[in-house]
Every structure is written in C-alpha cells, then in structure tokens.
Amino acid sequence: MTDKTVLLEKKLSQAISARKTLEEAKKTQVSMLSDFATRLSFSCRGQDVALDNQLAKFRSALNKGMEIEQLTPLIETTIAQLKQQEAVYEANERALTTHIQSAGKQLQKLKGLPDDTRRKLRHVLDHELGDIKAVSEFVPLLEKILQFYMQTLQAKAAPEFSSSTRNPELAIELLSLTNELVFEEDVSEQIKQIKQSLSADDSVDSLLDNSVSIIRIFAKSIARERQSAQGFLVSLNQTLEELHKSIVETTNQSKSVNHEVSALNKRIEEKISTLNHQTQQATSITELKQLVDNELKELSKDLIERENIERRDKEVLLQSFDKINDRINLLETKVTNYKKRLNEQKFKSLLDGLTKLPNRAAFDDRYNQEFHLFEVHNSDVTLVVIDVDHFKSINDKYGHSAGDKTLQVIARALKKSIRKADFIARYGGEEFVLLMPGMPLSSAQSPLEKIRNTVKAIPFRFKEKEVQITISLGATQLKKGDTPLTAFDRADNALYDAKNSGRDKLCIRE
Ligand SMILES: Nc1nc2c(ncn2[C@@H]2O[C@H](COP(=O)(O)OP(=O)(O)OP(=O)(O)O)[C@@H](O)[C@H]2O)c(=O)[nH]1
C-alpha cells in the first residue's frame, strides 16, 4: 500500500466519522424539534376539532420521522388552520370584552350592591378590562366579577332586618328616650323590665318588641291623662255652675227680702206719720194715751215682723254663704290636687329645671344601664366628672342669678360640644357628668381638652367686666371588677387631682 492510498483511506475514514457526527446532530435536532412541535400541538388541543385533527396528523408524521419535503404540505395546511383559529380567537376576545362590559354595567345598576363592591367593579370595568392582552387574563377578571355577583346576591338575599341583626346605637337611643319620658307609678315595673331588656339585648327583633311595648304604655298613659284632664274640667264646670246657682239664689232671696222689708218700712213710716198727725189732733190725755197705746202695739208688731224677716234673711244668707264657701273650698281642693299631680310629674321628670340637661336621677338611670352594657359587651366607656372652678366666687361677686346664667351657658356649651352618642347631665350644683360610650379613655383626652377650652373661651361679662370661667375635668374608663360606685369615685378622684393641681385641667385615672 502506497503512502497515497494510506492518506486517502485516512481522509475517507475522517469524512465518514464527520458525516456520522453530523447525522447524529441532525437527528437530535429533528427529534428535539419534533418533540417541541408535538408539545406545542398538544397545548393547542381542544380549541377546534379540525385544528385538532390536523395537529394529530402532523404529530404522527413527525413521530414517523417523515422527511421535510413530505412534511411541508402538512405544515402549510396547519399554518392556514392556525391563522383561521387566530381570527376566531380575536373575535371571541372582543365578544368576551363586550359581554363582561355589559354584565358589569347591569351589575352596577342593581340596587343593594355594597359600596365597596361598586367601587371595585367600576375599577375593573374602567381600567382592568381595557388592559387585557391575552384570553387567559380574562380568567381572574371573571372570577372577580363572579364574586361581585355573589356579594350582591348575598346582600339581596339577606332580609333587611334579620331578627338577629344587632343595633346597639338604636338600643341606646331607645334607652335615653325611655329615660326622658315620665310614666305612671303602676307601669314602673314594666318600664324597668323594658330598660333591662334594652340593655341586655340589642337585636333588632328585641328592639322592635320593646319599641312597641313603650309606644303601647305611652299611648295608654296619654289616654289616661286626657281622660283625667277631661274629668277634672267636667267637675270644675259642675262646681262652677252650682256656685253660680247659689249666688243667683242668694241674690234673688236678698232682693225679695229687701222688697218685703221696704214695704214694711213704708208701713211703719206711714203709721208713725198717722200717729204724729193724730197726737196733734188729740184733745185729752186719755184719748192721747189710748191712741198711742194702739198705734205702738201695731208698730211693735211691724217691728217684730221686720226683725223676723231680717233674721230669717240673715240665716238664709248665712246658709247660702256657707254653701258657696263649701263649693269654693271644693273647687280649691280640686285645683290643689291637680296642681299637686302636675308638680309630682315635674318632680318625677328627669330634666334639670335650670339647665334643661338631664338631672341626677336621669344620670343614675343611664349610668346603671351603660354599666350593664359594659358588663355584657366589655365595651369602652369613658366617664367624666366636670366641675366649674371657683363657682362660689361668681355667686359672691356677681350675684346668684349671674351664677344661674353661667350654669345655663356652660350647660349649653357642654351639650353642643359632645357627640350624639354621649350623655351629659347636671349632677348637682356646679357639677356635671359625662358618659362617653364606645370611647376609650386614650381617645377621649383630645375631645375633653377641646371641651375645656370651649368653656374657657366663652366671653362672660358681669357688671361691665369681662370674666373668664374655667372648668376642671376628671376622667376614667370603666374596667373589669368595677362597680358603678368605684368607677365614679375614680373619676371624682381624678377631678380632685385637677382641682389640686391648679384647676382648669383635665386629669385622668386609669
Ligand atoms: N347660682 C347658683 N349657685 C349654685 C347652684 N348650685 C350650687 N351653687 C353654688 O355653687 C358653689 C359651689 O361652691 P364650692 O363647692 O365651694 O366650689 P367652688 O367655689 O366652685 O370652688 P372649686 O370647686 O374648688 O373651684 C356654692 O356657693 C353653691 O351655693 C345653682 O343652682 N345656682
């Protein structure tokens, strides 16, 4: 073997080996490509039956290892089919957007859609829907809209007032209304039970029951009050009529007696004048004596008769006066009784006469209820005792009525400075108490400081002098283990702290 042959052989062997490597590489590439195409075709499966069949043919051709020339027509048909499918996709996407838009708009029109849901829905329709770039992005969006539908359906399906729905604000309002009303003694037990029930159970069902009971009691009490007022007026009228009759009778009696007496007087006068005339005509003492004797007898008869008439008249008059007196006394008793009843009602009333704020009795009632609620719900309740500083000196310097006016102005300012849920009362003298349900002590400090400054800023003017009046406040929060008394004492001690540290201050005791 020549050197040339050896070289040729070596080159041939190298060429064969290179070709093998190339073929192997191509085989791997084709296999990878075919695998990729197969997987891709699988992921498109289920979109369209014709496309599915076409892709199945393509996969089988790849698996059989068909040559590219054989695959080409298959690929071309598949591409055409895919293009068609793409157009269908785009149309579907547009239709989906339109459907979601219109479903969302319908949902927006529904009543009872919760506010938060309405806001989120608007965001989905106005922003998120426009940002969609692939069909798959519709899925979370649709999930969201489905949730909105469910929330709306739930809100609609729930009865507006489920019997177990709770409404503590309404319970408190009913309690304070019940406190402000004045009820008769015989329903006090019933009212007590209603108040207890309002404190213990603030479900709508129980509130409705209690409201109906209160209205019933109130309607009954109004009817009774009206009946009693009517009865009083009828009996007043009757007594006045009887009085009038007695007076008319007495006047008539007096008139007729007067008439009789003046006729008698006339007769007496005539007799005296006749006697006078006859005495002048008499010629002898015996005749005169006889004449005077006779006339005097007649005269004394007339005088006795007049005396009798006058005595009788006096008796009748006295009787009549007694009758009138009795009637007037009766009238007086009736008016006094009625006045007493009105006064009792006023006394029982829970408003303080001077400041028109709830009084101490009203506070005690409310405080006990609030305490009970605190024990049941363990809610935050702040209790504040407020006292006007150096109030005695206002009385001393500017008079008691200036003091009264000051209390009225401060009471009005306090009332205006608190929340609707708060309860303020005049506890006595120059002392006020404030209950702040649902308010933790830590949050109460800022509004209480505001109240202090509001009172301080009131421009009082006495005897042409500007006077600044301040208040001291002691606050605490009801806590576990408290009794109404211990909590109140704590607030009172906080007030002493404020007084002892210079007044015009808010002090707290936890
Ligand atoms: N004008 C008026 N004065 C009242 C009324 N009720 C209580 N007072 C007076 O309020 C004063 C309260 O005085 P004190 O309790 O000594 O307290 P203070 O003088 O305000 O002093 P500090 O509380 O220590 O700042 C007393 O003089 C009472 O007579 C009221 O309804 N009208």
| Phi and psi torsions of 351, nearest 5° | -105, 140
Q: What is the DSSP string of 133-180?
A: -SGGGHHHHHHHHHHHHHHHHHHHHS-TT-TT-B-HHHHHHHHHHHHH
Residue 421 is predicted with a pLDDT of 92
Q: Tell me, in angstroms, the distance from the centre of ligand 1 to residue 478's CA.
A: 28
CA–CA separation, 23 vs 26, rounded Å? 5
For 362-374, the pLDDT digits (tens) are 899 899 889 988 9
- The fraction of the chain above a pLDDT of 70, given in percent, is 89
Q: Which residues contact 279 (CB under 8 A, 6 or more apart)?
A: 288, 291, 292
Q: How confident is the model at residue 20 (pLDDT cuts 50, 70, 90)?
A: confident
Cβ pair 358, 180 in contact under 8 A? yes
Q: Tell me, in angstroms, the distance from the centre of ligand 1 to residue 344's CA.
A: 27
Q: How many CA atoms are closer than 13 Å to the CA of 338, on its beta-carbon side?
A: 16
Q: What's the mean pLDDT when you consider all of the chain?
A: 82
**Token pair of 314, please?**
């006096």
CA–CA separation, 427 vs 320, rounded Å? 55
In degrees, rounded to 5, the angle at the alpha carbon of residue 323 between the alpha carbons of residues 321 and 328 is: 90
For 83-102, the pLDDT digits (tens) are 887 787 777 778 777 777 77
- Which residue's CA is the closest to the ligand 1 atom numbered 4? 429
Residue 396 is predicted with a pLDDT of 92
Residues in the chain: 510
For 409-445, the pLDDT digits (tens) are 999 999 999 999 999 999 999 999 999 999 999 999 9
CA-395 nearest atom, ligand 1: 1
| Ligand 1 in reach of 365 Cβ (< 6 A) | no
Domains of the chain, start order? 44-158 (no CATH), 167-349 (no CATH), 360-508 (3.30.70.270)
Query: Complex ipTM, two decimals?
Result: 0.95
Residue 162 is predicted with a pLDDT of 59
- Asked if residue 296 has pLDDT above 70, the reply is yes
- The fraction of the chain above a pLDDT of 90, given in percent, is 26
| Ligand 1 in reach of 391 Cβ (< 6 A) | yes
CA-503 nearest atom, ligand 1: 25
Q: Which of 385, 388, 392 is the pocket-test mutation for ligand 1 (most atoms within 8 Å of CB)?
A: 392
Residue 446 is predicted with a pLDDT of 97
SS (H, E, C) 20-67: HHHHHHHHHHHHHHHHHHHHHHHHCCCCCHHHHHHHHHHHHHHHCCCC
For 30-52, the pLDDT digits (tens) are 677 777 777 777 776 666 777 77
- Residue in 444, 454, 447 with CA at minimum distance from that of residue 410: 454
Whole-model pTM? 0.45
Task: Look up tokens 């076409």; give the residue.
Answer: 54
In degrees, rounded to 5, the angle at the alpha carbon of residue 66 between the alpha carbons of residues 63 and 69 is: 145
